[in-house]
Structure 1
Amino acid sequence: MRLLIAEDDTRLLKSLKHIFESNQYMVDAVSNGIDALTYAESEEYDGLIFDIMMPGLDGIDVLKRLRENGVSTPALFLTAKTEIYQRVEGLDAGADDYLPKPFSTPELLARVRAMLRRRDNYAPDLCKFRGLTLNRSTYELQFENEKIALSGREYQIMEMLMERPNFVIPIDDFISHVWGWESDVDVSVIWVHISNIRKKLVSIKAKVEIRFIRGAGYKLEEIQ
């Protein structure tokens, strides 16, 4: 899962980024409303976490513009403002939830998990293809009685492949979804992660493989 966090308190922003990355989320972090709007318009995110009071544009204005432009990515507001009318204003702007500061880390993570479960393209905890199961809660691959854990990047790549089996996914799509649309990560990094996933598939004797299509990308398919 990939999140965009917008918060103008640099210390809190750094803390939030650490919290979510420690829990296997991919995170982009910005500190003003203009950047939040620009990043969120890419629609590369599974969830948005916005502060309301930010320079440039406040969080409510950012979300209003996103919703007007058809961006339906679920959003959670984090703010010190707790008055009822401000909560209503945020929800009316298109937010899915609202969490006032200060908040506990367990509640924040639970709210975000709930928000992501409610999104239109809700994905169940288990993603399956030809007997292979990807557990979105434990980041494990399982085939029959064999299990193996994936790293955060490996999980993100495998999730993309298992959501669209037998479909060729361009390398640029992996880079933008897993590392961010402004990333300058080298393509060789993708090769390394794919190679590691292939070894793990072999180790659990899965009957699927990741096939490279020259000039196109990668796809997950059943071993014939």
Structure 2
Amino acid sequence: MTDTAADEATSVAGDPFAALADVFAGRRALLLEDDPALAEHVADRLLAAGFAAVERFEAGEAALEAAQTRPYDILILDRLTAGLDGLETLKRLRSAPGVSSDAPALMLTALTGERQRVEGLLGGADDYLSKPIGDEELLARIAAQLRRVARRSKAVSTDLTNGPFRLSPGARTLKLKTPDGERLIDLSPLEFAIVSELMTARGQPVTKTMLWDRCWVEWTFLPDNFINIIDARISALRRRLKEQTPEIGEDLHPLIVAARSQSLVFRDLDPA
């Protein structure tokens, strides 16, 4: 079976984006965006995905005051706003104590040059997104930030398990449980980074753009053919995992399956 056919045959039967409702339930977002149509679209999409509230602001000053006094789970900030722009708003919020000073922040902006991305990340942003962006990419990025906050707040082992697999981020190892104990799965550093991102998402979709940003860290730009580069690596990784896990049934391969909107999911192997 070709990789394309495998993708079509094994795209998760359920919609992995539907699972994000549990991640978003009860969450509150602050949205700084002075384009009313875009602000309404983003707010509507977040509310439909499960957010409890999305508070919209057109000016940085008002957004800053709100974030200093009210709790938000995520901040979504445009850079080009009247008065105090989104980046300066975030810098001021990060530099002074406030209720939402440590909330994860995503810049959503038309300023997409490398210098501007670096400025945004150094200015306190946790992610930097370019306009226009698809709804599913935005939801996946927000979910990733919320999961990271949840992981930091838990005083538990950093090891992750998924069925017979145990991933140890600190040791950078992936092991398979067998009747004789555990067997180390041989992965390159890039392959481990990919598996780590996908397993950490716990069955929720990770877009290929997200994978590129977090795994191909030596690249300082997004090449036009980045999807082809990722697809080739995923194809090789699927074969590598299959070769090293003969204990796992044929019906569960490939372990990495396609989802909507150029996203990937590592199969949930935990018993229902």
Scaled to the shorter chain, the TM-score interval is: 0.5 to 0.7
State whether structure 2 residue 89 is matched by structure 1 residue 51. Answer: no
Query: 1:18 and 1:40 mapped to 2: Cα distance?
Result: 20
Choose which of 83, 93, 109 in structure 2 pairs with 1:79.
Answer: 109
Choose which of 38, 41, 66 in structure 1 pairs with 2:65.
Answer: 38
Query: 1:121 and 1:34 mapped to 2: Cα distance?
Result: 31
Q: 1:117, 1:123 within 8 Å by CA — same for their partners in 2? A: no
> Structure 1 residue 120: deviation in Å?
6.7
> Structure 1 residue 42: deviation in Å?
1.7
Query: 2:102 and 2:151 mapped to 1: Cα distance?
Result: 10
Query: 2:42 and 2:84 mapped to 1: Cα distance?
Result: 20
State whether structure 2 residue 126 is matched by structure 1 residue 99. Answer: no
Give CA deviations for 1:18-66 in whole Å, capped at 9, x if unaligned. 0001011121111111111111112410110000010110011000001
Query: 1:86 and 1:119 mapped to 2: Cα distance?
Result: 25
Secondary structure at the aligned position of 2:82 is classed as coil
Secondary structure at the aligned position of 1:110 is classed as helix
Moved over 2 A (4+): 119-124
State whether structure 2 residue 10 is matched by structure 1 residue 10. Answer: no
Higher relative contact order (CA closer than 8 Å, sequence separation 6+): 2
Query: 1:40 and 1:87 mapped to 2: Cα distance?
Result: 23
Counterpart residue identity of residue 62, structure 2: D
Give the structure-2-normalised TM-score: 0.44
Q: 1:63, 1:94 within 8 Å by CA — same for their partners in 2? A: yes
Q: Structure 2 vs 1, CA of residues 19 and 7 (structure 1 numbering), >3 Å: closer, same or farther?
A: same
Secondary structure at the aligned position of 2:136 is classed as helix
Q: In proportion to residue count, which structure has more strand?
A: 1
- Match for residue 94 of structure 2? 67
Unaligned runs of 5+ in 2: 1-26, 155-272
Query: 1:42 and 1:88 mapped to 2: Cα distance?
Result: 28
State whether structure 2 residue 54 is matched by structure 1 residue 27. Answer: yes
Q: Structure 2 vs 1, CA of residues 115 and 17 (structure 1 numbering), >3 Å: closer, same or farther?
A: same
How many positions carry a matched residue from both structures?
A: 124
Choose which of 133, 142, 148 in structure 2 pairs with 1:112.
Answer: 142
Q: 1:51, 1:79 within 8 Å by CA — same for their partners in 2? A: yes
> Structure 1 residue 119: deviation in Å?
2.2
Alignment of 1:140-155 (within 5 A): none
Query: 1:122 and 1:108 mapped to 2: Cα distance?
Result: 22
Counterpart residue identity of residue 107, structure 1: E
Give CA deviations for 1:123-148 in whole Å, capped at 9, x if unaligned. 68xxxxxxxxxxxxxxxxxxxxxxxx
> Structure 1 residue 117: deviation in Å?
1.5
> Structure 1 residue 81: deviation in Å?
1.1
- Match for residue 150 of structure 1? none
Counterpart residue identity of residue 41, structure 2: S
Query: 1:50 and 1:59 mapped to 2: Cα distance?
Result: 5
Structure 1 stretch 63-72 or stretch 104-113: which is displaced more?
Answer: 63-72
Counterpart residue identity of residue 93, structure 1: G
Secondary structure at the aligned position of 1:98 is classed as strand
